[in-house]
Amino acid sequence: MRYGSRVTRKAESFHNYHIYGEPDEALDVDYYFWVIRDSADTGRVTLVDTGFAREAGRRRGRDQWFTPADALPLLGIAPEAVSTVVITHAHWDHTGNLAQFPDAEIVMSQAEYDFWTSAVARRRHFALHSETAEIALLTQAHAAGRLTLTTRESTRLAPGIELVHVGGHTPGELIVSVADEAGTVILASDALHHYEEIDQDRPYAVLADLPAMYRAYDLLAELAAGPGARLVAGHDPEVRARFAAHPAHPAVTDLGRPRD
């Protein structure tokens, strides 16, 4: 579900953009969270990331149309029906609104949790991308036994849903692989903000580990080449060009229906 947008510059978005010798230009950015609904008997609903909180978005000058609790009913899903919230990484635009899901199990990687609760995460270049109160909510969820931390390279969350640790953008960045009737949706989240990162081999500006970021691009390209694979970038308006709109609402992209 696309819940916000902004316009930025390529020079701010790609790591050392000046080395490419290209003029700077505007870059459109979309903001998403993702809903995985089990179409089989279970009806299980998994929310992948929770967007940013209204106040944080306003403070940082981002346009926002809705939060998950506002938006899920557009798909006929009650917020209480979300049993699991996956946090792909703990940047502010992925951890807002967690309080809307007080009963859900939260799943993220151990590496990500350890990093954001460590001293180095409070240094300016990292702290800029997180919200202290939201990291505190994760800590409270941990204390309450509501947080599951993945430690393996690949973790099966539920039948057909795998969480794969890639790192790079953040120390514990996860991607999500979801099997459906047509093949596999590879939900990159911020392991791939814009398709251009893979297509032009052009790392994103915000990173924790450049070699890991390059390896994540290689893995995503390999997975995307699989039969029936659909690669979904985390912030690219191109997602809306590649996939049809959901019949329920124009802000929802239907990953099950590639646009032809």
Which residues of the chain form contacts with Zn ion (CB under 5 A)?
93, 190
Q: What is the Cα–Cα distance from 164 to 192, expressed in whole angstroms?
A: 14
**Nearby residues of 125 by Cβ (< 8 Å), 6 or more positions away:** none
Among residues 95 and 177, whose Cβ is nearest to Zn ion?
Answer: 95
Q: What is the Cα–Cα distance from 134 to 142, expressed in whole angstroms?
A: 13
Q: What is the Cα–Cα distance from 111 to 164, expressed in whole angstroms?
A: 12
Whether residue 213 contacts residue 204, with contact meaning beta carbons closer than 8 Å, is answered with: yes
Residue 208 CB, shortest distance to Zn ion, in Å, is 14
Residue 260 CB, shortest distance to Zn ion, in Å, is 29
Residue 117 CB, shortest distance to Zn ion, in Å, is 20
Among residues 44 and 176, whose Cβ is nearest to Zn ion?
Answer: 176
Q: What is the Cα–Cα distance from 135 to 32, expressed in whole angstroms?
A: 20
Among residues 93 and 131, whose Cβ is nearest to Zn ion?
Answer: 93
Residue 82 CB, shortest distance to Zn ion, in Å, is 20
**Counting beta carbons within 10 angstroms of the beta carbon of residue 50, is it exposed (0 to 12), middle (13 to 18) or buried (19 or more)?**
buried
Residue 196 CB, shortest distance to Zn ion, in Å, is 15
Q: What is the Cα–Cα distance from 203 to 245, expressed in whole angstroms?
A: 29
Among residues 93 and 112, whose Cβ is nearest to Zn ion?
Answer: 93
- In the numeric block, the tokens 């390209």 are attached to 221
Q: What is the Cα–Cα distance from 230 to 185, expressed in whole angstroms?
A: 5
Q: What is the Cα–Cα distance from 106 to 48, expressed in whole angstroms?
A: 10
Residue 80 CB, shortest distance to Zn ion, in Å, is 26
Q: Choose among 81, 83, 77, 257: nearest CA to 185.
A: 257
Among residues 49 and 113, whose Cβ is nearest to Zn ion?
Answer: 49
Among residues 190 and 236, whose Cβ is nearest to Zn ion?
Answer: 190
Residue 255 CB, shortest distance to Zn ion, in Å, is 18
Among residues 7 and 19, whose Cβ is nearest to Zn ion?
Answer: 7
